[in-house]
Amino acid sequence: MLTVGMSPIVCNLSWKFTLGVVTLRGVDCKRLEPALEKVYAGIRAANGDVLERVLARIAAFEEYFTSNGWHFPLRRQLEGILKRPPSGGALVRALLLAETSTGVLMGAHSLSALKGDLLCDLAAEGETFVGIRNTVRCRTNEIVLRDAEGIIASVFQGPDQRTLLKKESKNVVFFLFGAPSVTGSEVEAAAKALAEIFRDTLCAVDIRLLRTREAGSGPQSGSDDALPRQVS
């Protein structure tokens, strides 16, 4: 089982942070296509209330990103797929459709490329990792994910190159990130919606939620709520 923890400094953030971890083993991407078509159709047909809730979450992430000097791209991506279906491999499209249908920030990595245990941590000034296009330089206290070899993702700056999804990946881990105005229950609902996309792919699914406590509630420690399930 993939082990994921939170560092003490993350557990002492001034706001309640939730990290969702959805592990998928044995994904059959050919079986994924009908589910992706269904999710895409659902996005296109979403009524006002559903779309309003998604846009409210996107706005919450926009506020969080902007307050830290970054741009949150999900609104533009949603506008794009409302005009035409997303392109790319099945797993990449699943990631984008899961994000745009829930309004929750996610990332995906090849499980076999990860080394050792994972830690959700805050970066030190000047820490770097090899991103998809170039070397990424982190800012102080930027939320990152690390494995035994280094940073694999930044909340604000995206994933690394080493653990990037490949077309042939069958074992995958998705991370879902909270924000100051995005609740743990919203992250949990998004994690379950993501797992539902893979229902017919004959893969084993494990859902975990790591949460910090409310600020000011005393000594902090991340709690791990496991929701293991078999999807078949």
Instruction: Say what the pLDDT of residue 230 is.
Output: 38
| pLDDT band, very low/low/confident/very high, at 153 (cuts 50, 70, 90) | very high
More confident residue, 39 or 222: 39
Tell me the residue type at 110. Answer: S
93 Ramachandran zone, left/alpha/beta (phi>0; psi -120 to 50): alpha
Using the CB atoms, write b or e for 120-145: b if 16+ within 10 Å. Answer: bbbbeeebebebeeeebebbeebbbb
What is the arithmetic mean of pLDDT over 66-91? 96
What is the arithmetic mean of pLDDT over 3-13? 96
Distance of alpha carbon 200 from alpha carbon 137, whole angstroms: 39
The rounded percent of the chain whose pLDDT value lies above 90 is 88
- Spell out the residues 6+ positions from residue 107 whose beta carbon is closer than 8 angstroms to its own: 95, 153, 158, 159, 174, 175, 177
| pLDDT band, very low/low/confident/very high, at 225 (cuts 50, 70, 90) | low
Distance of alpha carbon 129 from alpha carbon 33, whole angstroms: 33
User: Alpha carbon 57 to chain centroid distance?
Assistant: 14
Span 158-183, pLDDT tens digits: 999 999 998 889 999 999 999 999 99
DSSP codes, 194-230: HHHHTGGGT-EEEEEEEEPPPTTSSS---EEEEEEEE
pLDDT of 141 higher than 90: yes
| pLDDT band, very low/low/confident/very high, at 47 (cuts 50, 70, 90) | confident
Q: Global pTM?
A: 0.92
Q: Which of 106, 91, 100 is nearest to 31 (CA)?
A: 91
More confident residue, 48 or 120: 120
Rg (CA), the chain: 17
Pairing mode, if any, of strands 143-147 and 18-25? unpaired
pLDDT of 73 higher than 90: yes
Instruction: Say what the pLDDT of residue 222 is.
Output: 53
pLDDT of 63 higher than 70: yes
> What rounded mean pLDDT belongs to the chain?
92
Instruction: Say what the pLDDT of residue 167 is.
Output: 84
What is the arithmetic mean of pLDDT over 83-110? 96
pLDDT of 20 higher than 80: yes
Domain boundaries, the chain: 4-122+170-230
| pLDDT band, very low/low/confident/very high, at 1 (cuts 50, 70, 90) | confident
Is residue 25 within 8 A of residue 1, CB to CB? The reply is: no
